[in-house]
Amino acid sequence: MKKILTLVLLSLAFQCVYSQAGETEKVLMKPALLVIDVQKQFVPMMSREDQERALEMMNWSIWLFRQYGLPVIRVYHTSEKWGPKPDSPGFEFHDSLKIEQSDPKVIKTYPSAFNKTELNNILKEKGINTLFLCGLSSVGCVLATYTDAANYDYEVFLIKDAIIGHDAQYTNQVETIFNALDLNTINYMFKIRKE
């Protein structure tokens, strides 16, 4: 029963119907993947038990979005106090991550990827209305971006097992509280969207 309810809610999420002056307009889901702060300086600070699985699931997420021709957007963190400087080895994404130089790149100095960055402009230019998030930290920048996305009128989802934090239990709680979606469900959403 729970799975059926989840699928019904998901179908509503990607095919919203609006009514204006007696007219009905369908708005289809136009998704993008945000890969947040998977930088060499930060990955070693994350839960060791989750690192391998989370990096693998991030790569599967990237692969899935590429299969459907959907945007993958890289988000990097820097700050004088907490973050690595651009062009330093620690600033770069983890070597195992399958990003491409052609993927749009956003550099942020606040936890949310929206705060004082070009992210919203990039998304609007691409017609994006739905975001899927992976990366780190589950209780930091991923969560800040997730909650801030509503302020910019985006539907937003976390990808189960593709987020990571300093404590695996906290990550599990975030995934439960915010109903993170597994890749099979996301793939199903994309298949329906294409039909």
Contact 128, 149 (CB under 8 A): no
| Cα 167 from Cα 108, distance rounded (Å) | 23
What does the pLDDT read at residue 34?
98
Q: In the predicted model, is pLDDT for residue 96 greater than 90?
A: yes
pLDDT tens, position by position, 122-176: 999 999 999 999 999 999 999 999 999 999 999 999 999 999 999 999 999 999 9
List all residues 6 or more positions away from 158 whose beta carbon is below 8 Å from its beta carbon: 132, 133, 134, 142, 146, 174, 175, 178, 179, 180, 181
Instruction: List pLDDT tens digits, range 168-195.
Output: 999 999 999 999 999 999 999 999 876 6
Half-sphere exposure of 50 (CA within 13 A, CB side): 24
Q: Which two tokens stand for residue 181?
A: 């979606």
> Taking the CB of residue 20, how many other CB atoms lie within 10 A of it?
7
Question: pLDDT-based confidence at 32, cuts 50/70/90?
Answer: very high
**CATH 3.40.50.850 matches 29-194:** yes
pTM (predicted TM-score): 0.87
